[in-house]
Each structure stands twice: as C-alpha cells, then as structure tokens.
Amino acid sequence: MSDMTTVPVGQEYDVLVGPGVSSGVARVLPVGVGRVLVVHGEPLGHLAEPVATSLRAAGLDVHLAAVPDAEAAKTVTVAADLWARMGQAGFTRGDAVVAVGGGSVTDLGGWVAAAWLRGVTVVHVPTTVLGMVDAAVGGKTGINTAEGKNLVGAFHPPAAVLCDLDHVSSLPPADLAAGLAEAVKCGFIADPRILEIVESDAAGVQEPGSPALREVIERTIAVKAEVVAADLRESNLREILNYGHTLGHAVEHHERYRMRHGEAVAVGMVFAAELAHRTGHIDKALLQRHRYVLGLLGLPTTYARADFDDLLAALRRDKKTRGDTLRFVVLDGLTRPTRLEGPDEVLLREAYAALA
C-alpha cells in the first residue's frame, strides 16, 4: 500500500496508518495461524466483514463474534463467552484473535487473547480515533469490574495495529472529537505541534480524510509508541500517558461510563492543570491554553456533576495510587510532565472548585 505510514513500537510491533490498511490483516499474522476469531462491536459488522473476507481469502478459518458496544463489552461474562467459542472451535496456541472496533473492543480482544492458553496472537484494527491513538497501541488489555475500570487485565503486545483511516468517516462527530482529547494530551506532554495544528485548523482536524487529522493521528501514535517502547510494562516513564486520566477515570466511574472517555480525560486535564497552577508548576497562560485547545474541539472544560468526596473515594481506588498516596501526572511546563505525589487535599478541593 503506497499511502501507508509505519510507526514502529520499538522492536515489538508496527502500527500501520493509512486508508484501506485493514485489508492487509492476513499479512501481519504469524506463519502457521489456522483459525482466527474476529471480535467486533455489534454495530460494526460492516467493518468486520471485509476483514473476515480478506482473512478467508488467505485460506484462514474465520469465526466472527459480535460483542456489546462500548464499555458493555468489557466484562468477564463477555470474555467467557468468547473463550467458550474458541474452545468449541478448537483454537490452539498457534491461532489468533483480531479485534475490530473502538478502544473497548481492542481492550477486550487483547485480554481474551492474553488469557487464552496463556497468550495467543492478537492484531488490533481500531475503528475510532480513540482506539487508533490510545487503546490499541501499547499492549495493555483489560476489562472492568463493578469496582472500577480496567482493574483486571494483562500486558499483551499485539502482532500489529492497523489504523484504517477509511473507518474514521463513519464516526459520529462527537466521538471523533472525544478521541482527539488523547491527541491533545500528547501535545501537552510531548509534541506541541499537535496543539498548534488544533489551534490553527480546529475544523480541519475534525474532518475525516483531512491531512490535518491524519497528521494529528500519526503524531499522537508516534508519541505513544516512543513512550511505550521505552517502558513496555508501565513502570515509570509510561505514567506520563496518564495525564488527565486520574480524575478522568473517577469521573467516568461516577458517570457509570455513560460519558465518553475523551470527554472525561478533557475534564481531567483541566483539573490537572488547575492543580499544577496551584502548586506552582505552571503559569496562568499554560493553564488557560488547556481550556482554549479543548474548547476548540468542543470538549468539556468544566465539570460539577459529582460531589468531590465521591470522586476522592474513586481516586483512592485507582490503580495509579500506591498505598494511600494519591499521585497525579502534572506539567512542569509545556512537554515537561512530572509526578505530583500526595498533594494537600485543600488544593485538590480548590482545583475541583475551579473546574466546576
């Protein structure tokens, strides 16, 4: 494919970006794969079927499995149903899973592959901007429990990630914009050119097929790939990718996952910026730039729908907490992320009041 960009994730695997790349899924599977479980979100049969057709054309035994949309996919019940299908079809350690869908489906598909026979090949075909720039890159897999998001999972890098830009054209505008929250995050923590593109062409960035959107997607993937390659198991450096996510996950939990992930992360980034400003890490201009850039994409920059004590309880359960110490990723200036450990609760409350 001539119009394809390859972003390597260290020596582990490649992310392929371009129109039509999902038709090449058979080419990225290891030699010897015989059976493939194609997991897809229920509304995405029209995107999964061409992937299945290309696999069948390569002589593979394909099993299509539809799962619920969005976070409803990420349950132990759904995972168990998929394992049952794999068992009944005789899947061996040499077979594979292909996950076609948004971040929830790639999280689920990755976890199903990671746990089946202690790990089989998985290839991700993310169909949303969020899936392309965030969930499908990095090898983190997981499902949710009643107690919180992504509490059960494993590190299981894919064989490849195929980001087919043709899939973006079917995204609702609000979903596209929400996915761009992760791009804005990468702009603040590592690549300010992303912020400049949004500031100069916010409409273009939200237009499927535009050069501006493609550049933002590719730059965001490159940021994540570089961080992930340097820290495959989330020991330290990779923590910077959690910018905006600490409060964001608490907000998602409070909203019972009815709020888009990117919208919650946008709120979380503004909170982190307010906290950083109050602790002397960033100036007023950088704080205001958070609201400005996110606002250009129509993403929320205020939030007042939860009592802070409820959010605090969720924060203390978050997997980024160590012991009883709350930890936040904040900026020490543009592209200078740092860790803020155990901030004064008074400052947390002030930052949340400013967010409201």
pLDDT digits (tens, 9 = 90+) for 238-264: 899 999 999 999 999 899 888 999 999
Backbone conformation region of residue 209, classed left if phi is above 0, alpha if psi is from -120 to 50, else beta: left
Is there a binding annotation on residue 127?
A: yes
What integer pLDDT is reported at residue 234 of this predicted model?
Answer: 67
Please indicate, yes or no, whether residues 106 and 250 belong to a single structural domain of this protein. Answer: no
Please indicate, yes or no, whether residues 35 and 144 belong to a single structural domain of this protein. Answer: yes
Please indicate, yes or no, whether residues 162 and 192 belong to a single structural domain of this protein. Answer: no
* Structural domains of the chain, count: 2
Q: Name the strand (E) or helix (H) holding 341.
A: strand 337-341
Structure tokens at 219: 């730059």
Active-site annotation, residues:
118, 140, 182, 224, 234, 238, 242, 245, 249, 261
Is there a binding annotation on residue 80?
A: no
Find where tokens 């989330």 sit: 234
> Which residue from 153, 91, 154, 99 is spatially nearest to 123, judged by alpha carbons?
99
Is there a binding annotation on residue 167?
A: no
pLDDT tens digits along 2-34: 699 999 998 999 999 999 999 999 999 999 999
What CA–CA distance (Å, rounded) separates 177 from 22? Answer: 23
Q: Name the strand (E) or helix (H) holding 253.
A: helix 245-254
Please indicate, yes or no, whether residues 154 and 186 belong to a single structural domain of this protein. Answer: no
Please indicate, yes or no, whether residues 195 and 166 belong to a single structural domain of this protein. Answer: no
Find the CATH number of the domain harbouring 314. Answer: 1.20.1090.10
What CA–CA distance (Å, rounded) separates 304 from 306? Answer: 6
Please indicate, yes or no, whether residues 223 and 328 belong to a single structural domain of this protein. Answer: yes
Domain extent, residue 16, equals 5-170
Is there a binding annotation on residue 350?
A: no
What integer pLDDT is reported at residue 325 of this predicted model?
Answer: 87
What integer pLDDT is reported at residue 321 of this predicted model?
Answer: 58
* Residue 107: strand pairing partners: none
Please indicate, yes or no, whether residues 154 and 136 belong to a single structural domain of this protein. Answer: yes
Please indicate, yes or no, whether residues 191 and 265 belong to a single structural domain of this protein. Answer: yes
Find the CATH number of the domain harbouring 153. Answer: 3.40.50.1970
Boundary of a domain, candidates 135, 170, 205:
170
Low-confidence ranges of the chain (pLDDT < 70): 1-2, 233-235, 319-323
Please indicate, yes or no, whether residues 324 and 288 belong to a single structural domain of this protein. Answer: yes
Structure tokens at 346: 């008074």
Please indicate, yes or no, whether residues 92 and 130 belong to a single structural domain of this protein. Answer: yes
